Amino acid sequence: MKKTLLAVAIASALLPNFAFAEEGDWVVRLRAVSVSPNESSKLGQTVNKNVGAGTMTSSADLKVDDNVIPELDFSYYITKNIAAELILALGTKHDVKVRGDALTTVGDQNLGEVNLLPPTLTLQWHFRPDQTFDPYIGAGVNYTHMLDRNLKFSRNALAGTKIKIDSDSWGLVAQAGFDVNLKDGWLINADVKYVQIDTDVKAKLASGWTKIDSLDINPWVIGIGIGKRF
């Protein structure tokens, strides 16, 4: 990914000026993005507090794996420098695992997968909209709808016990990237976002649904793609 972004940046410096952004323009981009969770989990501590002391190793946590997905977005240029971007990732599935538990009640195991649908709206500042190489920064808000929320313990004393992602998530987004403007309104884009996603995780125990973790997923979303200005 780093080599690809470097190649795009070098190529942009060698290209002549072509089509540039103007107030009222629309841009449609299609990116391939890597979604890399930067999760924060206190599974062991929460289980020991809410289920029973000594149930898990206190440092045990939940891990959410990476995924590569397509991403579609639409930008509207409010002014030449300011654009609003609606980002529509097409759903991203992630395996969820218990890691770091040395005890036998739970133990390290796979819990299944979750499917996240995270539409995002950002407001961007484009530094050089009238140049071939146009870097930008942005900030905004994300809403993540949790699909396929049902997980379960697969082995040991809690085998078959259902787990659920309890709620959807609202969070802030930070963004940076650049466009390389080409002929006829086409462009190359590279983009990085940091997205706040957090939710509670619950297990269906004999006493009912019990909170076992406050999970912050907080992924880095790194993408590269093409776009068309209209």
Instruction: Report pLDDT digits (tens) over 40-61.
Output: 999 999 999 998 898 999 999 9
Q: For residues 15-32, give the mean pLDDT.
A: 78
Please report the pLDDT score of residue 2 as a whole number. 53
Please report the pLDDT score of residue 167 as a whole number. 82
pLDDT at 14 over 50: no
CA distance 229 to 28: 7
Q: What percent of the chain has pLDDT over 90?
A: 65
CA distance 71 to 228: 15
Cα→Cα distances 209→45, 63, 106, 160, 201, Å = 17, 21, 17, 14, 10
- Report which DSSP code applies to 80: S
Instruction: Report pLDDT digits (tens) over 133-170.
Output: 999 999 999 999 887 667 899 888 888 899 988 888 99
- Report which DSSP code applies to 156: G
Please report the pLDDT score of residue 104 as a whole number. 84
Indicate the average pLDDT of the chain. 88
Q: Within 13 Å of residue 183, how many CA atoms lie on the same side as its CB?
A: 2
Tokens 């920064």 belong to 137
CA distance 73 to 182: 18
